[in-house]
Every structure is written in C-alpha cells, then in structure tokens.
Amino acid sequence: MAGKQASEKPTLTELLQWLDVLGGWQQHLTREAIKELASQGRPSRSGPGAAAGRANRRRRKA
C-alpha cells in the first residue's frame, strides 16, 4: 500500500490481505481483553466502572 498514489485504488487482493491482518489483530486484542477481565475476577460494585456496568445491564434488558 505504501508509495501508491491516492487516486490509485488498491486491488481486491490487497484489500483482502488488509482485512485479514486487521481481523487477526482484533481477535488477538479481544482475547487479551478477555484474559485481563478474567484475571481480575468480578468487577467491584462500587468504583468508576460500576455505574457504567449498571447502565449496560439496564440497556440490555430493555
């Protein structure tokens, strides 16, 4: 992709390669985040994240 003119469209193959790379990164980051949350155990009921957690639960039910 580097060194191309802005007006020049990337080929389908290049786009697919980029999507593949980005998808891999997303999976990796998601897995890391899940591990991080799991290692912390249950989130505390009080604290900065508590209000957001309650709001999320309310939103899911509705």
Query: Is residue 1 pLDDT above 70, yes or no?
Result: no
The confidence score (pLDDT) of residue 50 equals 61
54 in a structural domain: yes
* 40-60 pLDDT, tens digit each: 766 555 555 666 666 666 666
Q: Is residue 4 part of a domain?
A: no
Number of H helices, E strands in the chain: 2, 0
Q: Is residue 24 part of a domain?
A: yes
The answer to whether residue 45 sits within a structural domain is: yes
Structure tokens at 39: 């290692």
What's the distance, CA 19 to chain centroid?
14
Place of tokens 């786009």: 15
Tally of domains in the chain: 1
pTM above 0.75, yes or no: no
Q: Which residue has the higher pLDDT, 15 or 49?
A: 15
- Structural domain span for residue 26: 10-58
Contact 48, 54 (CB under 8 A): no
25: pLDDT strictly greater than 70: yes
In this structure, is residue 5 part of a structural domain?
no
* Position 33 in a domain: yes
If you compute the radius of gyration of the chain from its CA atoms, what whole number of angstroms results?
20
For residue 1, tell me if it sits in a domain. Answer: no
Out of 11-15, 24-28, 52-56, pick the least confident.
52-56
